[in-house]
Amino acid sequence: MRRFRFGFLAFAAVVGMAATAAAEDGGPAAPPPSLEYRPQRVVIPEPKAPTPAPPVTIFREAIGGFGIAAGAFDGPADVAVDADGNVFALDTGNNRIQMFDHFSTYVLTVGSNGSRKGEFSKPQAIALDQEGSIYVVDTGNHRVQKFGWVDKSACPECPARADGKRLGFLATWGSLGTRSGDFKYPRDIAFDAQGNIYVLDAGNDRVQKFDRSMRFVGEMGRLFGSRGGIFTDLVSIGWSRDRLGYIYLLGAGCLVQQFELDGTLVKSWPAIAPESGLCAPGRLEIDNKNDWVYVIDSGNSLFERFELGGRFLAAWRGAERPFSNPLGLAVNPDRDEVLVADTGNNIVQKFTLR
């Protein structure tokens, strides 16, 4: 005990002498050493955001099968769906539209082979505008045709659905040529929020814009005032509501190009799923509710989901049977539905994605 006391007193004396010397030199007195226990600060890392799980794909059913009878298909090239879940399949080999209700029950058929109003020649795309009118890109006839629901008095011979409304021809525009309003093998169609119509005039390497009355508004493309971009070998078009709106084009090698509405190229990216081979583009669709881009890769027989900026999210290869050269795609975000025109299998496959 005495030894400890002596050691402590010696330590205190040394500290006191040092403080006195500092004071005599005019400097601040050094504080005595603290004997207070200070625990080490524990740093808890912030939790990382969980990696989102891939969407669950629920196969619902397949519609159709090869043939010429009602409800059968011969190489369906595209498909559209309305807000009620009714399906409009573009039966390209049979040059007709077939409608099915949301239970996939056959309802009616419109069209046949030919070049008169309401007839088709190898149509490649079908789409619905915000009012429910149906537009068909009649590729072999170099035109676009519009159909809609009419009363029996307006078209007694038109095919009818259960409520008595009849699906009839409304209008057509375009013919083979290179002037504004002409087409050369058009491939696809899209609509913006104002109802303007964008037609992919593939044979003329351009996109033409029309108002909702089908009057020509403007164009962009390789020879038509665009600011960058590739306009050859294009197969599909979509419109995104992002900001003031963008046009998305799908072309060779599954290259997606994003343009402002004045034709200025914003960015481009390859829509290729990991571990996929050479990509053969089929169709592009924009889900404007969730801001996703869907792309059909016909060469690898799959469809993919991307963010608007191009980040890959997921890919699907079919359910009931593997896809065979699929070409068409439709999205119904209100029902979480995606429908694929499975061209080689002559069916339409329906999925619920969550």
Q: Does 207 have pLDDT greater than 90?
A: yes
Q: Phi/psi class of residue 111: alpha, beta or left (left: φ > 0; alpha: ψ in -120 to 50)?
A: left
User: In this structure, which amino acid lies at residue 114?
Assistant: G
Q: Does 147 have pLDDT greater than 50?
A: yes
Q: Decide: 96 and 68 in contact? Cβ < 8 Å.
A: no
Burial of 201 (0-12, 13-18, 19+ CB in 10 A): buried
pLDDT of residue 118: 95
What percent of the chain has pLDDT above 90?
A: 70
User: In this structure, which amino acid lies at residue 9?
Assistant: L
Q: Does 143 have pLDDT greater than 80?
A: yes
Work out the pLDDT band at 58, boundaries 50, 70, 90.
confident
As a whole number of angstroms, the distance between CA 305 and CA 285 comes to: 10
Which of residues 207 and 227 earns the better pLDDT score? Answer: 207
CA torsion, ordered 5, 8, 12, 15, to nearest 10 deg: 160
Quote the DSSP letter at residue 333.
Answer: G
What percent of the chain has pLDDT above 70?
A: 83
The sign one gets for the Cα dihedral 256, 260, 261, 264 is negative
pLDDT of residue 222: 83
pLDDT of residue 175: 97
pLDDT of residue 33: 52
Q: Where are the domains of the chain?
A: 59-353
Residues 252-295: pLDDT tens digits?
Answer: 999 999 999 989 999 999 999 887 888 999 999 999 999 999 99
Q: What average pLDDT does the segment 308-321 reach?
A: 83
Q: Phi/psi class of residue 58: alpha, beta or left (left: φ > 0; alpha: ψ in -120 to 50)?
A: beta
Pull the structure tokens for residue 115.
Answer: 């070049």
User: Percent helix, strand and coil across the chain, each rounded to 5?
Assistant: 10, 40, 45
pLDDT of residue 352: 87
pLDDT of residue 43: 47
Averaged confidence pLDDT in the chain: 86
pLDDT of residue 54: 53
The candidate with the shortest Cα–Cα distance to 209, out of 239, 185, 233, 184, is: 239
pLDDT of residue 32: 56
Helix or strand or coil: residue 104? coil
Q: Does 146 have pLDDT greater than 90?
A: yes
Q: What average pLDDT does the segment 316-335 reach?
A: 86
Work out the pLDDT band at 306, boundaries 50, 70, 90.
very high
Q: What average pLDDT does the segment 24-41 reach?
A: 51
Q: Decide: 282 and 296 in contact? Cβ < 8 Å.
A: yes
The architecture of the domain spanning 59-353 is 6 Propeller (2.120)
DSSP state string for 156-223: TTS-B-TTS-EEEEEEEE--BSSSTT-BSS--EEEE-TT--EEEEEGGGTEEEEE-TT--EEEEEETT
As a whole number of Å, the end-to-end CA separation of the chain is: 77
Place of tokens 């029950």: 105
Question: Which of 83-87, 99-103, 116-120, 319-323 shows the lowest per-residue confidence on average (mean pLDDT)?
Answer: 319-323
As a whole number of angstroms, the distance between CA 250 and CA 284 comes to: 6
